[in-house]
Amino acid sequence: MKRYKTETGIFIYFLFVRISFIILSGFNTCELCSDSGWIDMLSERVLAGNFDFDIGRFIVAPFYNIFIAIHKIIFQRYWTVALISSQLILSSLSGVCLYKIGSMLFERRTALVSTAIFCVFPMTLWWVHTFCTESIFQSLLIISLFFLLKTVYTARYLYLILSAIIFSITFLTKAHILLYSPFLALYLFMNLYGYKKVFFPFVYTSICLLATLPFGIYNLKLHNQYIISSNGSAFHFYTGNSNFGYITVVDVPEKGTEEFQKMKDMDMSFFNGEIHDKIMIKKHYIKQKEYLIYSVNWIANNPVSFLKLKLYNAFFFIFPGVSFRHYNLRLWAFSFFVSAPFYILGYIGMIFWIKKDFKHHFFSFGIFITMFIFSVVWYTQNRFRTITIEPIYILYAGNTLFRMTKKLKGIIY
């Protein structure tokens, strides 16, 4: 009974903090994310029976567009309130699940510290009522990880199936998390026994593949390309490994200049030349290959710039906060000083526990490697890092803080 009271209290605490943020911040549902406009447009396509999620650059992941359309059908003119409510509920449930993950990995008091920090962490609150994939993706990922750990700790089919279904929805919301799939399968293999070492990863993979069939077959007929979730990986690779990528990360134009604004607007033609426009008019199954060809050629012709770009990407992935080269000093300072303690404590905690119990903490190591690969090989996108790995940093930071406090008390007394 005490456990359920704690979980109910966490849920209410998360709801209260998030509703307070929405009221006090004054931000509207589309103000914080430039993607909100085309996401709403795609949900309108769904209402018309059109599931073609082509936005020109690539075909986007389907779930969130359909999720919004369902809210529009059910709640009619009140769909915006209903959608915000759904995101708030999911975010609050993810808080409960983060607490449960912490309780399994560490202990109840540590889990409470981490959960309390996560609840008020500004970078998490930022997206909670915005009409974009960030908030719902983060919530779904945490919930799927909770069921993944429950699978390992109990070896029950129910938790395996729940984790696989929710993880499928997660990658159908944002496709970059598909990079985590091999680590997920390996985590199951490392921590289970007997036939389940192989059978559970097989079942998990099968459920995820089945989840791709409707969208995959639809796009195979429409675009001559089977798309698991989104075919944006080639475009993002091109974004991060081109003249545009180099200028965005290494040779950033001075703020206030025309070049800086075109960089912010992702004006690829301005930086990559007329070849960009030539690629853009082609069909997707050709376009995606040509993105890669352009990037490979750019890397071959600019080896020093490429190496420099990768080093910058690695630095900005490790370094907390938003980029000081893209945002004003006040916003950068706020994000840095809020994030830095939890990054440092999180790194310390992850290293400590991975060394102490590699098998059970491999899931977090896998997420770190996943995001490092994405941020370095593709390109550094801090909001992807925020929604994917920062909850894990906070989880370990809370444990590090608890262990340090305990050690300090031992020294004093």
pLDDT digits (tens, 9 = 90+) for 72-97: 999 999 999 999 999 999 999 999 99
Q: Judge whether 154 and 60 are in contact, CB under 8 Å.
A: no
Looking at residue 166, its pLDDT comes to 97
Share of the chain above pLDDT 70, in %: 96
> Residue 413 — very low, low, confident or very high, per pLDDT cuts 50/70/90?
very low
* Lookup: tokens for 177: 């998390």
Residue of 6 and 263 predicted with greater confidence: 6
- Alpha helix segments (H runs only) across 281-375: 284-301, 303-318, 329-356, 362-373
Q: Judge whether 83 and 40 are in contact, CB under 8 Å.
A: no
Average pLDDT over residues 153-166: 96
Phi and psi dihedrals of 272, rounded to 5?
Answer: -95, -10
Residue 54's SS3 state is strand
Q: Judge whether 259 and 322 are in contact, CB under 8 Å.
A: no
Nearest C-alpha neighbor of 162 from the set 223, 93, 110: 93
Q: Determine what percent of the chain falls in helix, strand and coil, rounding each to the nearest 5.
A: 80, 0, 20
What predicted TM-score, i.e. pTM, was given to this entire model? 0.92
d(CA 171, CA 363): 17
132-146 confidence digits (pLDDT tens): 898 899 999 999 999
301-318 confidence digits (pLDDT tens): 999 999 999 999 999 899
In the chain, the amino acid numbered 243 is N
Given a cut of 50, whether residue 350 has pLDDT beyond it is yes
Given a cut of 60, whether residue 1 has pLDDT beyond it is no
For 181, the enclosing helix (H) or strand (E) is helix 181-191
Average pLDDT over residues 355-367: 94
Output the average pLDDT for the chain: 89
d(CA 385, CA 34): 18
Residue of 56 and 219 predicted with greater confidence: 219
d(CA 61, CA 278): 24
Q: How many helices (H) and strands (E) does the chain have?
A: 21, 0
* Lookup: tokens for 299: 């890397």
